Each structure stands twice: as structure tokens, then as C-alpha cells.
């Protein structure tokens, strides 16, 4: 048996507390455990706790690979013993006592984060990494040809772990990462499990017109026309006076100089796929949001509508 009540209490503390292994090695977490055990050593039977009483969880449940999965898939509702806010409840053990500060708002603590610090896959909520959709996340949440997208473009971003609809509270689809476009650039878009439809971010620049499938090789001309796509009919899909200017030999950089270079290289990601029309005309021309004024390509424009 145990050599002391202190040793028994320390073991029971760790067994009862659902903790991440890395957190349990944190000195602060160990100090809290040691303090709890020391308090138990100096207490008497008035505490009402029986050191020989059976535990609710089996041995090894404190491993994140066990209790973490059961929580995320909601196999068990931690609130029933640890309280509505996981601050102790009838078990008198708060999840905060073992997990590090800030875990409730740290997306990478429970899932994701293998490629970046956003909490996006390649690791799913079940700790698997084989979902075909995971590969697309990193290119969306890190800066490339556009600024890094927030998770809210495609999902409802929770304020913390226990936000309604996220974990336990109002979540009718446990273990499922629901796709929800209403808070982003494409509120009418849809996700089929293999791709997106009616999205702005993969559209031709005239609204939510894009369709994309997992595994597609996405290039500039995949979404909207480029200078070399006249022969495919791509110019016809551009709005306003684009086709007239392209036929005359003008380049994208002539009117979008703050966004793209003459070599069709995006050099300001914040001004590409950002839900806005970023127009930067040549010297002598002005753009008011809907029309041009000034002299360009040998013509005088006076509030000429686009």
C-alpha cells in the first residue's frame, strides 16, 4: 500500500485530473499537484474523502490520447462531474488545475496546429491526419497569394472551448467540424465534402462564382482570366470594360498596380482576394469606385462608367 497519505493523494490527484502529458510536466502544474497532496496529508477524516474509494475513471485516463479524445468526440460529458464551466463541480477537480493557463482559448491545445499556430488541421479533432480536406487548410490560413484567412471564413469561430455549438454546449453533431460560410466572403457558398461551390475566393471576380474541388491545381487563370487566356474565352467572364482593355494590350498591373506586378505576381497579398475592388490607375487617371476620369490610352474619360 501507499507509504503515506501524501503519496496516495498525489497519485489520486493526477488520476482524477484530465490532463495533457506535456502540461503535467509543467513545473507550475506539478506545484499545484504537490500542494494539493500536501494539504491532504495535513487533513483529517472530516474531509469525507476515502483514499481507497474506487475512481470514476480507469487508470491511464489522464493521458491526453484517452481523455482528450473522449472529450472532443463527447463520448463523455466532462461537465457532469467537473462542473458546467469545468471549474471543479462535484469532483472538486478543475480542469484548469492541470491544463496550462489559456488552454480554453488556445485552438492548438485540443486540435490542429501541426503546420501552423492557428489550430487548423492537418490534425483533426479525433487526432487523425488522413482526411483529404486537411491539406487545403494551411494554404488558406497562412499568407500566400492572399492574406491569411481567419477560421471564420469557413467555420463559426468559437470564443473559447465551451462556446455554444463548439463543445458540449448546444453541439448537436459531436465529432464533426461543421463548415459554415455565413461569416465570410461567400455567405451563400456550400461544401460537399469534396469541394466548395459558389465561393467568392475561387470566383472570377464578379461575385461568388467559383467552384473548386480538393486536389485541384489552382493557378491565377483557374479562378479568373489572365492576359494569356483570351483564346479560352476567359476574358468574356470578366466584368465591365476588362475585355476592351485587354484586347488593346493593357495588362492587369496597369489598373491594379498596388496588387499585381507586370509579371502577374501578387506582391501585396492583403489586396488580393480580400472582398474589395483594389484599383490603382496610371498617372493622370482617377477612380471613384465605379468610374474613371482622366486621359488614358489616347482617350479622355470623364466619369466613364466601368
In this predicted model, what pLDDT tens digit does every residue of 13-66 receive, in sequence order?
334 443 443 333 333 333 333 333 333 333 333 334 455 656 778 888 888 888
Sheet strand arrangement including 285-287: 285-287, 291-296, 299-305
184 touches 208 (CB < 8 A): no
Give residue-wise pLDDT tens across range 97-117: 989 999 999 988 887 777 888
Of 255, 247, 234, the C-alpha closest to 306 is 255
Give residue-wise pLDDT tens across range 74-95: 998 999 999 999 999 999 999 9
Give percent of the chain with pLDDT exceeding 70: 80
139 touches 269 (CB < 8 A): no
Domain ranges of the chain: 1-101, 227-305
124 touches 107 (CB < 8 A): no
- Total-model pTM: 0.72
d(CA 143, CA 269): 7
d(CA 17, CA 47): 19
Cell digits for 245? Answer: 482593355
Percentage helix, strand, coil, to 5, in the chain?
35, 10, 55
Cell digits for 274? Answer: 480580400
The 10 Å Cβ neighbour count of residue 264 is 15
294 touches 281 (CB < 8 A): yes
- CA dist 16 → 9, 29, 124 (Å): 10, 14, 26
Amino acid at each position: 500500500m501507499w507509504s503515506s497519505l501524501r503519496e496516495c493523494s498525489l497519485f489520486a490527484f493526477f488520476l482524477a485530473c484530465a490532463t495533457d502529458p506535456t502540461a503535467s510536466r509543467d513545473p507550475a502544474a506539478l506545484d499545484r499537484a504537490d500542494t494539493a497532496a500536501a494539504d491532504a496529508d495535513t487533513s483529517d477524516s472530516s474531509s469525507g474523502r476515502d483514499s481507497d474509494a474506487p475512481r470514476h475513471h480507469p487508470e491511464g485516463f489522464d493521458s491526453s490520447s484517452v481523455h482528450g479524445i473522449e472529450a472532443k468526440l463527447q463520448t463523455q460529458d466532462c461537465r457532469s462531474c467537473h462542473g458546467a464551466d469545468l471549474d471543479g463541480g462535484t469532483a472538486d477537480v478543475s480542469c484548469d488545475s492541470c491544463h496550462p493557463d489559456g488552454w480554453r482559448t488556445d485552438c492548438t491545445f485540443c486540435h490542429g496546429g501541426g503546420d501552423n499556430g492557428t489550430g487548423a488541421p492537418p490534425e483533426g479533432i479525433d487526432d487523425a491526419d488522413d482526411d483529404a480536406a486537411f491539406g487545403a487548410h494551411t494554404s488558406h490560413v497562412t499568407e500566400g497569394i492572399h492574406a491569411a484567412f481567419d477560421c471564420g471564413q469557413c467555420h463559426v469561430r468559437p470564443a473559447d472551448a465551451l462556446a455554444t455549438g463548439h463543445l458540449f454546449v448546444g453541439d448537436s453533431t459531436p465529432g464533426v467540424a461543421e463548415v459554415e460560410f455565413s461569416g465570410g466572403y461567400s455567405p451563400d457558398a456550400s461544401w460537399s465534402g469534396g469541394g466548395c461551390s459558389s465561393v467568392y475566393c475561387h470566383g472570377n471576380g464578379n461575385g461568388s462564382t467559383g467552384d473548386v474541388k480538393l486536389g485541384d491545381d489552382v493557378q491565377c487563370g483557374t479562378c479568373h482570366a489572365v492576359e494569356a487566356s483570351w483564346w479560352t474565352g476567359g476574358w468574356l467572364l470578366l466584368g465591365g470594360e476588362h475585355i476592351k482593355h485587354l484586347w488593346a494590350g493593357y495588362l492587369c498591373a496597369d489598373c491594379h498596380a498596388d496588387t499585381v506586378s507586370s509579371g502577374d505576381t501578387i506582391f501585396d497579398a492583403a489586396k488580393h482576394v480580400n472582398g474589395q475592388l483594389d484599383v490603382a490607375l496610371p498617372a493622370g487617371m482617377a477612380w471613384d469606385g465605379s468610374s474613371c476620369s482622366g486621359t488614358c490610352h489616347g482617350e479622355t474619360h470623364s466619369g466613364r462608367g466601368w
